[in-house]
Amino acid sequence: MNFTNPFCDLDGDKLREECGIFGVIGAEHAVAVTALGLHALQHRGQEACGIVTYDGKEFYAQRGIGHVASVFEGGDLHHVQPGSMASGHVRYSTTGGAGLRNVQPLFADLASGGFSIAHNGNISNAASLKRELVQRGAIFQSTSDTEVIIHLVATSRYPTLLDRFVDALRMVEGAYSLICMTPDGIIACRDPLGIRPLVMGRLGDAIVFSSESVAFDVIGAEFIRSIEPGELVQVDQQGTISSHRPFGNPKPRPCIFEHVYFSRPDSVMDGRSVYAVRKQIGVELAKESVVAADAVIPVPDSGMPAAIGYAQQSGIPFELGIIRSHYVGRTFIQPSEGARHADVKRKHNANRAIVEGKRIVLIDDSIVRGTTSKKIVEMMRDAGAAEVHFRVASPPTSNSCFYGVDTPERSKLLAATMDTAAMAEFIKADSLAFVSIDGLYRAVGEQNRNNKSPQFCDACFSGEYPTSLTDLAERERHDLLTLPINKVA
């Protein structure tokens, strides 16, 4: 379900959250609140954004390619009429690829009235469901997996919209946090395992929903609570809040990588400060793999909290040995390896006065393909580092994600093809170590990983996927059937 994304870091060497969602009902300036909330969630999706509003009579939409500040430049919301209810979305393209027709929130006129949907996650049986829907006469306007939910709602035979919505969700598998708008109000929900996050807050008399709590800080809202896994929260136009749990109470499996990288460090995720968790990961990393060195240096900006924790636990001084430029435009297609390398140096530059002659420990959040890590190590060598030891604030990323993260295919993940020693040789580090999966779990407040019943979704590290992967299984069967007969074994 994942497609190559030209908006990713220079060569796809960072995992990217697919999107962020925001919604508000009962606010005097709902569209302005939503635009501000999306700006706080910009890190979750930088390819495109959109807002849909409802003024009590009609739905209005404005969508565009680019950052929130450019799509809604100077408060340009002329296509989105005033109203007290709005929802918005920022995205990267994974399922469905790029293009304006895939920019959310998606909207459709159903028999019951207008229906908009903003989705964070990935429906892992979307292709199978779409094939069945098309055979029954459905006409799709996008290539997004999210549109499948709209068609399932539209074709459900249950009497009320809420029942039709629940009926649709029973047919999908994978990960989803959703904010849906109808003429009657907003429905916000998480999948039964709570893989993707969603929180609820209050802004005066208005109720707000967001992928992360940091958006509430930005708009001045009060955090109320997280939407529980499998919960649907319905807010009508009078502000009445009702909670529904049609999926029972399954054991949650929220994405642990939210704590490692995806969320902003000033967010609170499932009651835990993201910054505090990342700092504690560094502490665990130092306990497990300390090395004699003169300086602990973060790879900006994602390695910063873990590097602070590592330095405090190890007693090795924390230094800014790499300076990041915040004024470099996003990289699209670079014509050559030399150009890509030059782009790394434009974004990151060695602080020679700190690095030269020193034994350094580099701290980063993850290694995906390993190409950027290799260039960073080379940069440190060129700046005169005596030794370069690389420490990673997550276990080896050896498996693809099918739950809403833009992950390279497994064969392109460095940890899927090499052991730690080979990876260290590839990136040219004197040593390489990752935090253990138990160390990661301890950092988020667990004693260890419960191997019989893991507390989080950690499939990118463990390969243990918490849901069925119907589309993947069908593709693998197809690939097997289309192999030459002498290749099947």
pLDDT tens digits, 55-96: 999 999 999 999 999 998 766 676 677 789 999 999 976 555
Let me know whether 247 and 354 are in one domain: no
* Residues labelled catalytic: 19
Is residue 480 in some structural domain?
no
Mean pLDDT of 338-367: 83
Q: What is the pLDDT of residues 237-292, one digit of tens each?
A: 999 999 999 998 889 999 999 999 999 999 999 899 999 999 999 999 999 999 99
Do 215 and 246 have their domain in common? Answer: yes
The larger pLDDT score, comparing residue 9 to residue 145, is at: 145
215 and 303: one domain? no
- Residue 14 pLDDT: 67
Q: Looking at residue 373, which CATH number applies to its domain? A: 3.40.50.2020
Residue 99 reports pLDDT greater than 80: no
The proportion of the chain whose per-residue pLDDT surpasses 90, expressed as a percent, equals 79
295: in domain:
yes
The reply to whether 481 falls in a domain is no
User: What CATH number does residue 237 fall under?
Assistant: 3.60.20.10
**What is the rounded end-to-end Cα distance, in angstroms, of the chain?**
26
Element (H, E) at 214: helix 214-219
Q: Considering 254, 281, 307, which residue would you say is the last residue of a domain?
A: 254
Whether residues 246 and 282 share a domain: the answer is no
Pairing of strands 19-25, 85-91: antiparallel
DSSP-assigned states of every residue in 439-451: HHHHHTT-SS--S
Q: Single out the residue of 148, 137, 195 nearest to residue 17, CA to CA.
A: 195
With cut-offs at 50, 70 and 90, classify the pLDDT of residue 421.
Answer: very high
Q: Do residue 193 and residue 44 come from a single domain?
A: yes
Provide the number of structural domains found in the chain: 2
Q: 292 and 155 in one domain?
A: no
Q: If you average pLDDT over residues 350-367, what whole number do you get?
A: 97
Tell me: do 433 and 297 sit in the same domain. Answer: yes
Q: Are residues 211 and 337 in the same domain?
A: no
In a domain, 260, yes or no: no
* Domain annotation covers residue 11: no
The pLDDT assigned to 75 comes to 62
Domain with 357 in it: 273-462
Most trustworthy range by pLDDT among 211-215, 325-329, 344-348: 211-215
Q: Is residue 261 part of a domain?
A: no
Instruction: Mark whether 197 and 304 lie in a shared domain.
Output: no
User: What pLDDT is recorded for position 487?
Assistant: 40
- The answer to whether residues 286 and 248 belong to one domain is no
Residue 194: inside a domain: yes
Q: What average pLDDT does range 106-122 have in this prediction?
A: 96
Q: How far is CA 23 from the centre of its chain?
A: 18
Give me the pLDDT at residue 488, please. 36
pLDDT at 119 over 80: yes
Query: What are the percentages of helix, strand and coil residues in the chain, rounded to 5?
Result: 35, 25, 40
Residue 326's pLDDT is what?
Answer: 72
* Banded model confidence at residue 351, pLDDT cuts 50, 70, 90: very high
Structure tokens at 23: 């919604």
Per-residue pLDDT, averaged over 289-303, amounts to 96
- Classify residue 328: in a domain, yes or no: yes
What is the average per-residue pLDDT within 150-159?
97
Res 173: pLDDT? 96
pLDDT of residue 395: 98
- Whether 412 shows a pLDDT value over 50: the answer reads yes
The pLDDT assigned to 1 comes to: 33
d(CA 65, CA 48): 4
Same domain, 222 and 292: no
The tens digit of pLDDT for each residue in 181-214 reads: 999 999 999 999 999 999 999 999 999 999 999 9
Token digits for 83?
């109203």
Instruction: Decide if pLDDT at 329 tops 60.
Output: no
Q: What is the pLDDT of residue 489?
A: 32
Instruction: Read off the pLDDT band of 409 (50, 70, 90).
Output: confident
Domain C-terminal end among 226, 254, 282 = 254
Identify the residue with better confidence: 278 or 331: 278
Q: 276 CB contacts (<8 Å, ≥6 apart)?
A: none
What's the average model confidence in pLDDT over 106-110?
97
Residues facing residue 189 across a β-bridge: 178, 232
pLDDT mean across residues, the chain: 90
> How much of the chain exceeds pLDDT 70, in percent?
88
Q: Which position has the higher pLDDT, 479 or 12? A: 479
End-of-domain residue from the set 221, 254, 287 = 254
Q: What's the confidence (pLDDT) of residue 93?
A: 62
| Numbers of helices and strands, H then E, in the chain | 17, 23
Is the omega angle on the peptide bond into residue 301 within 30 degrees of 0, that is, cis? yes
Look at residue 8 and tell me whether its pLDDT is greater than 50.
no
Could you tell me if 182 and 230 lie in one domain? yes
Q: How confident is the model at residue 459 (pLDDT cuts 50, 70, 90)?
A: very high
Max alpha carbon distance in the chain (Å)?
Answer: 73
